[in-house]
Amino acid sequence: MRRVQQEGYKKKLSVGTVHAYVLTPDGHTHDSLHVAEAARTERMLAMLEKAVKTFGPKEGKPVVAPAPQSAPPRAPADAMVLHLVSRADQRGSWGEFPGENWIVLTKAEWSKLLPAGAVKPGQAWALDRDVSARVLTYFYPQTENNAAPTSRIEKLALRAKVLSVEKGTVRARVDGTLRMNHVFYPNRKNPEPVDATVVGVLTFTPGKGPPSLQLVTAKAAHGKRAFKVAVRTLATGKPR
């Protein structure tokens, strides 16, 4: 990497550790882009197309076959597996690609999201705070800091209200709010507040396995940086 950077300096290219480099067939520096520019599809394609014209490489199979970069984790068969996607409204650099997280709730955990006893239309209850925190702690935009302890949360509230009970299946609306602190860079001590309002749907059949949960942000910001989050139950757990 040091040689690549030194050669970049000599060619008066943009140089640094957070850069995308194009090398010549014999391993020398040919071109570069800072990640903030490389994250813009049109800039990256332009750099690569320029290299293709210069070196005239032969078409071949990709070194690594395209495949999903995020897959559900293995979990107990009775677990509730949630897929979370977050993306800042700002594009470029960190905001160009969405952030993803998988959250696995055991039966003991997701059971705390459900009301006790018989359920009737109009019934309302508060979702367990600790279990809710396991999900809401990932409600922040793409940052270099991905540490997400629930201790960052100052206030949260998720409440559900039954909309319908049909053939034993309960459908409830979920509304909530979140306030927590989150720092952009790791190990910094300058957190900015995350404020979010949340709405969603919780569907379950008492005694019939994990519920299904969908949540989205109605409004959310990390400091002055607006963002959106969507969560959904993608699958139940897979046997280990």
pLDDT grade for 237, boundaries at 50, 70 and 90: very low
Residue 65 lies in a domain: no
Residue 60 lies in a domain: no
Query: What's the per-residue H, E or C state across the chain?
Result: CHHHHHHHHHCCCCCCCCEEEEECCCCCEEEEEEHHHHCCHHHHHHHHHHHHHHHCCCCCCCCCCCCCCCCCCCCCCCCEEEEEEEEECCCCHHHCCCEEEEEEECHHHHHHHCCCCCCCCCCEEECCHHHHHHHHCCCCCCCCCCCCCHHHEEEEEEEEEEEEEECCEEEEEEEEEEEEEECCCCCCCCCEEEEEEEEEEEEECCCCCCCEEEEEEEEEEECCEEEEEEEEEEEECCCC
Residues 116 and 185 in one domain: yes
pLDDT for the residue numbered 236: 52
Residue 27 has pLDDT above 60, yes or no: yes
Range of the domain at 31: 2-55
**Amino acid present at 164:** S
pLDDT digits (tens, 9 = 90+) for 68-90: 888 889 899 999 999 999 999 87
Residue 122 has pLDDT above 80, yes or no: yes
The residue with greater pLDDT, 128 or 62, is: 128
Q: Which residue has the tokens 């008492």?
A: 206
Tokens of 11: 């060619």
Averaged pLDDT score across all residues of the chain: 91
Residue 169 has pLDDT above 50, yes or no: yes
Residue 150 has pLDDT above 50, yes or no: yes
pLDDT for the residue numbered 129: 97
Residues 214 and 108 in one domain: yes
Residues 24 and 90 in one domain: no
Residue 162 lies in a domain: yes
Number of domains in the chain: 2
pLDDT for the residue numbered 121: 95
- Report how far Cα 97 is from the mean position of its chain's Cα atoms: 10
Residue 69 lies in a domain: no
Report for 10-14, 17-21, 186-190, 225-229: range of highest mean pLDDT: 225-229
pLDDT digits (tens, 9 = 90+) for 175-218: 999 999 999 999 898 999 999 999 999 999 998 889 999 999 99
Residue 59 has pLDDT above 90, yes or no: no
Residue 70 lies in a domain: no
